[in-house]
């Protein structure tokens, strides 16, 4: 199977799935604290859903070997879930639109830089964490509360992903 | 004036003021994603307050020169505010208990490692961001919504802070 290569992660390309958390052109920003700090304001909002509470955890992900086989996708129907890398390594973001279980053709595969976080909108299908290069910590902002907030589905056939390497 | 030196930031020492966001001994953690990821669960909770929404911003802080004069403190009476360093540098955390305007003697001064975030509980007095060493980005999780959520007070006299250096 020919591996699929990721796209670069960008705010615009990711917009159907949620927000990219990064300092970028066009973000509203303004000085605070007597000019010693610049606030890049509201890069995303936390949606803990009805009866949910936003919580902060750290996910420590083992690096995945490449090429990589994707076999499952998951979604959190009740709430958003944000990942922000803390360890200075890139990672893969694999998503499909909210709604019916994703087909392999519906998957979008993004390569995120170490200075880019993502916030999945409620119900957006995504692959579990895909750290690259080294064991990597991610700050995760998601939800606790009543109800079942995780669905997982198997893809009808695996997708192989690789990253273009310098030759 | 003899400079005050910071204490090391720890979960226990900071407990009266909020939570330290870090992977540490004693945190509840468990494997997820088929064992490829360890989840360090609910290191803190976001409290957006009544009618508030949790939002995520990035603060880009200029490094403060040492020794440093502290002259003001602020608080957010309606909601929590979390800071997580993204740039790999230490920073200072200066707090005083919620309640009346802080006296210099009530201030606790902590030196935070680059892998330690903090979440100020609603109403806890704290100094505005004190980046050290280099321009540093921090992920900030706070609140948007109706009402006035920032009080600032001048200290009755400045406090000078320095960091012990190797000799």
pLDDT in tens, B46-73: 999 999 999 999 999 999 999 999 999 9
Is the Cβ of A92 closer than 8 Å to some Cβ of chain B? no
pLDDT digits (tens, 9 = 90+) for A121-156: 999 999 999 999 999 999 999 999 999 999 999 999
Asked whether the beta carbons of residue B82 and residue A56 sit closer than 8 angstroms, the reply is yes
Residues 51-70 of A with CB under 8 A from B: 53-62, 64
Is the Cβ of B31 closer than 8 Å to some Cβ of chain A? no
Is the Cβ of A153 closer than 8 Å to some Cβ of chain B? no
Domain for residue B2, yes or no?
A: no
Contacts of residue A34 in chain B, CB cutoff 8 Å? 128
Strand-strand pairing, A37-45 and A29-32: antiparallel
Q: How far apart are CA B123 and CA B47, in angstroms?
A: 11
Cis peptide bond prior to B67, omega within 30° of 0: yes
Q: Name the phi and psi angles at A131, rounded to 5.
A: -70, 150
Domain for residue B70, yes or no?
A: yes
DSSP character at residue A14: H
DSSP character at residue B133: S
CATH number at residue A15: 2.60.120.480
Asked whether the beta carbons of residue B54 and residue A62 sit closer than 8 angstroms, the reply is no
Domain for residue A89, yes or no?
A: yes
pLDDT digits (tens, 9 = 90+) for A28-60: 999 999 999 999 999 999 999 999 999 999 999
Residue B6 has which token pair?
Answer: 């910071």
Domain for residue B61, yes or no?
A: yes
Q: How far apart are CA B112 and CA B92, in angstroms?
A: 6
Is the Cβ of B44 closer than 8 Å to some Cβ of chain A? yes
Asked whether the beta carbons of residue A58 and residue B40 sit closer than 8 angstroms, the reply is yes
Domain for residue A2, yes or no?
A: no
Strand-strand pairing, A7-8 and A108-112: parallel
Q: At a CB cut-off of 8 Å and minimum separation 6, what does A124 contact? A: A17, A18, A75, A95, A96, A97, A98
Nearest CA to B103 out of B154, B153, B155 is that of B155
Domain for residue A1, yes or no?
A: no
Domain for residue B1, yes or no?
A: no
Q: How far apart are CA B134 and CA B63, in angstroms?
A: 5
Binning pLDDT at 50, 70 and 90, where does residue B165 land? confident
Is the Cβ of A44 closer than 8 Å to some Cβ of chain B? yes
DSSP character at residue B62: P
Domain for residue B111, yes or no?
A: yes
Choose, out of B58, B68, B150, the residue to mutate when testing the contact with A (most A CBs < 10 Å).
B58
Nearest CA to A41 out of B21, B96, B51, B143 is that of B143
Q: Would you say residue A166 has pLDDT above 90? A: no
Range of the domain at B52: 7-161
**CB nearest to A61's CB, from B36, B56, B144:** B36
ipTM of the complex: 0.96
Overall domain count for chain A: 1
pLDDT digits (tens, 9 = 90+) for A7-23: 999 999 999 999 999 99
Residue A67 CA neighbour count, 13 Å, CB half: 14
> How far, CA to CA in Å, does B105 sit from each of B34, B108, B122, B129, B157?
51, 8, 21, 20, 11
DSSP character at residue A99: S
> How far, CA to CA in Å, does A118 sit from each of A10, A20, B118?
10, 5, 21
Asked whether the beta carbons of residue A56 and residue B43 sit closer than 8 angstroms, the reply is yes
Asked whether the beta carbons of residue A141 and residue B88 sit closer than 8 angstroms, the reply is no
């Amino acid at each position: 199977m020919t591996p699929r290569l990721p796209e670069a992660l960008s705010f615009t390309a990711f917009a159907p799935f949620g927000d990219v958390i990064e300092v970028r052109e066009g973000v509203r920003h303004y000085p605070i604290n007597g000019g010693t700090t610049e606030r890049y304001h509201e890069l995303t909002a936390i949606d803990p859903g009805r009866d949910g509470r936003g919580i902060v955890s750290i996910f420590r992900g083992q690096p995945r070997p490449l090429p990589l086989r994707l076999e499952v996708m998951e979604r959190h129907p009740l709430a958003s879930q944000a990942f922000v890398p803390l360890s200075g390594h890139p990672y893969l973001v694999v998503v499909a639109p909210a709604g019916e279980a994703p087909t392999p053709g519906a998957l979008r595969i993004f390569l995120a830089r170490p200075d880019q976080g993502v916030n999945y909108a409620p119900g957006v299908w995504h692959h579990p964490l895909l750290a690259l290069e080294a064991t990597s910590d991610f700050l995760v902002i998601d939800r606790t509360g009543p109800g079942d907030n995780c669905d997982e589905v198997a893809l009808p056939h695996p997708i192989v992903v690789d990253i273009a390497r310098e030759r």
